[in-house]
């Protein structure tokens, strides 16, 4: 252990034994390619159930919207939670347009939450777009997809909502505790 | 250390996340890597209780748990006894929670991964945690893996550790190193995915 003190609080640095390091070094095991290929295969086996789950999540959002029209209130936190789940599932199986719409909805919901905006229609129109492009819906020509994205973009601009700045996943590595993480410019694509 | 192969069977893994969809995908990936029977818990409270009496080699948790922020769980783990205290912790963050990443880092997480997680990214991050020795730092305000990774010197150029060099380094007595020589000395540790 190495205490270091430069006139500030004591900092102790040491290199403890990490059991994962020892276990990973054992003989046998899988190469990166083998492990990743096997994992991809197991994930692929979940495609069917994941598509059903996306449909169910969209149905849940539709139910939230329907209920909110009665009560003039929508649980935006719940909208974000379900939208995150759609982004995760759709992203895993490369349903890019669905991911884009879900991100737009997430950004709208976050902005409304932050600014205490109670409008329901902008949420509903995004949920309708998700339904239009849901896994169980008939295929939609790419021109229609582009048109839908264009219209949703207008909604976002109307409310001054911009795409969230996405940070890349990183290996916690920033030298300055007060320094903001690096980020790539916000974009839905 | 060369790790062309990794043996992850027998690695005690704890997954803490209440998102069933995410957990199902994650468990499939872990199974593909050879990690058998990870323990899955849904709340931070369940994890706190469980970790008091069980040892883990790897912890993967969501950033937004039903009863706590993921950062709170990470902080709790960093104040446990070894081996849990030193276990690599991977935090998964969703699209609407990315602004919380700094908080998770400062709680003592090793790695933050944005969902959706691909098998390749997850494997590379676990491999990085398994093969890159990393100092552990303990201060009054932070317990966790060393956050200094970029070779750009200490914060403020002043430093707070004994190992931080003084800014006064005197006159050069030899020719400067070329950039290639400097790069060779640095050997960046960041994982590069294919």
Chain A positions touching B13 (Cβ under 8 A) are none
Helix (H, G, I), strand (E, B) or coil at B191: coil
Between chain A and chain B, the number of residue pairs with CB atoms below 8 A apart is 254
Query: Is CATH 3.40.50.2300 correct for B13-145?
Result: yes
Residues 8-67 of B with CB under 8 A from A: 8-11, 19, 21-22, 24-25, 28-34, 55, 57-58, 64
Chain A positions touching B87 (Cβ under 8 A) are 18-20
Chain A positions touching B6 (Cβ under 8 A) are 24, 29-30, 32, 35
Per-residue pLDDT, A65: 94
CB A30 within 8 A of CB B6: yes
B145 closest CB neighbour out of A20, A87, A172: A172
pLDDT, tens digit, 9 for 90 and up, residues A57-71:
999 999 999 998 777
Q: What top-level class would CATH report for the domain A41-158?
A: mainly alpha
A131, pLDDT greater than 70: yes
Please state the domain extents for chain B. 13-145
Global pTM reads: 0.81
Residues 72-101 of B with CB under 8 A from A: 82-83, 85-88, 94-98, 101
Please state the domain extents for chain A. 41-158
Give me the tens of pLDDT residue by residue for chain B, a chain 194 residues long: 445 899 999 999 999 999 999 999 999 999 999 999 899 999 999 999 999 999 999 999 999 899 999 999 999 999 999 999 999 999 998 887 777 778 888 899 998 888 899 999 999 999 988 987 788 899 888 999 987 755 555 555 566 666 666 556 666 677 777 777 766 665 555 555 54
| pLDDT bucket at A179, cuts 50 / 70 / 90 | very low
Per-residue pLDDT, B52: 94
């Amino acid at each position: 252990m190495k205490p270091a003190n430069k006139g500030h609080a004591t900092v102790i640095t040491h290199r403890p034994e990490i059991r994962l390091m020892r276990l990973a070094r054992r003989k046998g095991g899988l190469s990166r390619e083998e492990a990743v290929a096997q994992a991809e295969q197991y994930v692929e086996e979940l495609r069917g159930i994941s598509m059903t789950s996306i449909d169910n999540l969209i149905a849940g959002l539709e139910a939230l919207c329907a209920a909110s029209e009665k009560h003039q209130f929508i649980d935006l936190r719940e909208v974000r939670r379900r939208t995150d789940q759609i982004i995760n599932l759709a992203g895993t199986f490369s349903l890019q347009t669905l991911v884009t719409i879900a991100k737009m909805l997430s950004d709208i919901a976050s902005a409304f939450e932050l600014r205490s905006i109670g409008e329901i229609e902008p949420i509903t129109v995004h949920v309708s777009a998700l339904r239009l492009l849901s896994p169980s819906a008939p295929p939609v020509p790419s021109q229609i997809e582009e048109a839908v994205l264009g219209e949703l973009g207008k909604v976002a601009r109307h409310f001054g909502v911009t795409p969230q700045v996405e940070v890349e996943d990183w290996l916690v590595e920033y030298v300055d505790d007060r320094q903001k993480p690096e980020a790539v410019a916000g974009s839905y694509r | 250390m060369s790790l062309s192969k990794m043996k992850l069977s027998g690695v005690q893994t704890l997954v803490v996340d209440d998102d069933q969809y995410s957990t199902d995908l994650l468990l499939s990936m872990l199974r593909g890597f050879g990690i058998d029977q990870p323990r899955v818990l849904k709340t931070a409270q369940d994890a706190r209780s469980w970790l008091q009496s069980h040892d883990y080699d790897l912890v993967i948790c969501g950033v937004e748990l039903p009863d706590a922020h993921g950062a709170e769980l990470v902080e709790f783990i960093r104040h446990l006894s070894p081996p849990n205290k030193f276990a690599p912790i991977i935090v998964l963050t969703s699209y609407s929670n990315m602004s919380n990443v700094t908080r998770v880092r400062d709680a003592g997480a090793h790695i933050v991964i944005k969902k959706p997680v691909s098998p390749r990214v997850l494997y590379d991050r676990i491999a990085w945690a398994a093969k890159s020795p990393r100092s552990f730092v303990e201060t009054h305000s932070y317990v966790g893996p060393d956050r200094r990774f970029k070779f750009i010197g200490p914060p403020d150029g002043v430093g707070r550790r004994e190992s931080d060099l003084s800014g006064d380094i005197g006159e050069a007595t030899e020719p400067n190193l070329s950039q290639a020589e400097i790069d060779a000395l640095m050997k960046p540790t960041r994982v590069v995915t294919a």
